[in-house]
Structure 1
Amino acid sequence: MGRRRQMSEQLKLEIARDLGLLETVEQQGWGAITAKDAGNIVKRAIQMAEEAAARGAKQ
């Protein structure tokens, strides 16, 4: 079974800002975003992790 990790609140807020969701999250909380938007947050976090791993592999 794979490891289960959670994103930091700071990272989630940064990605929400990038995706234009920050105002909704600040005013209404995480429960107010759509499942599609939550998926996009996860997708972006994975992309960021892959990019960081690729940069680390080059060093």
Structure 2
Amino acid sequence: MNAAAAPDRDWSEDEVHRLHQLAQLAIPTQVIGLKLARTLDSVVVKAGQLGLELPATHTTP
């Protein structure tokens, strides 16, 4: 299994800092996950724990 997919991998201070920066720039959540080598769920959960707002995910009707 890829280390990035490990569900129990702790967030480093650098990753949290980058998450803050990317969220402030309104980078799409999927792109944040790719940049941080994190799953979409992991990014959403961590952002919620930190009180960060992520941009809305675009869906097709």
What is the TM-score of this pair, normalised by structure 1? 0.31
Give TM-score scaled by structure 2 length. Answer: 0.30
Decide which structure has greater helix share: 1
* Higher radius of gyration, 1 or 2: 1
